Structure 1
Amino acid sequence: MKLKTKFLLILVAVITVVSSCSKDDYDAEKQLAVDDALIVDFIAKNNIPAIKHSSGLYYQIITPGDGASVTAASTVGVVYTGKLLNGTQFDQATNTVSFRLSGVIPGWTIGVPLIKVGGRIRLIIPSTLAYGNESPGAGIPKNAVLDFTIDLHNAQ
């Protein structure tokens, strides 16, 4: 009986240690503050006349567009370039690609409706409105602030 009790205590201790090691200390509010400082520094160094949205997203309307308005539920056709703050390009669409705004990262869902069809916008997206504490694949590390320039060609 004593051996079983010791075994169970050791097993519980090992499980506790292993589970505590696998916990992620990610704090979205703390990360947003870190991202915000990075973005403020980036826009100052690059003289970008960006506006801060209440969500934490920064944007620059380059061309407002004069076509149809879009919403988060719209399907949009866009051409875009995505970069990290260090200038590394991780994605680009040189031909129009279409997708629902409700199916992309929150930074796009919030930012693209700030312009109309025919417009161009620059979105500087904190990681909390992008991929957060996850890396979606090669080229975008976890907690990455993303810098997109987006041309809105059409919407449905």
Structure 2
Amino acid sequence: MNTRTPLLIATLLAGTALAQGATPLTLNLNMSLVRSVKVDGKVTEQFSPSPKNVLPGDLISQVVNVRNTGSRALTNVPVTLPVPKNTVYVAPEKDMNVARTEYSIDGGKTFAAAPLKKKVTVTENGKTVTREVDVKPNEYTAVRWTISEIGANQTLKLGYRVQVR
């Protein structure tokens, strides 16, 4: 087994605890290896759940099933997952736009909607200049979704993709 797999899984499972707190939520993280394959001459994605080994360059889909186990609706529910070490954020998972999504570039201390900006200092023509630049998605270190409302016994799916370094 690739030595990165246990670290990746442990990091992801630890991240699910960030959303649990005292609310009646259960979180179930599902990871799948994503491969592009040709079926009948058409390129499609093939998902291999719970991969045993991952290699640099592999694309991983991470989907969290968020379930309200309580008897009443919950509002403004935050669910935060770190981008695991040894991976880079790639994109949100398709068809899972059910919550406001924000990103962090400082390990989850602050969050903002995309596109994120940061200030960089550069030297131009011998002068030091500070510029605001767009943050690339591969610099994201955590993702936070805020679910406006999740009904009693309702389940929502949230997810994103990462690439193994």
The TM-score with structure 1 as length reference comes to 0.29
Higher RCO by CA contacts (8 Å cutoff, separation 6 or greater):
2
Is the strand fraction higher in 1 or 2? 2
Computing the radius of gyration from Cα coordinates, the structure with the larger value is: 1
Is the helix fraction higher in 1 or 2? 1
The TM-score with structure 2 as length reference comes to 0.28
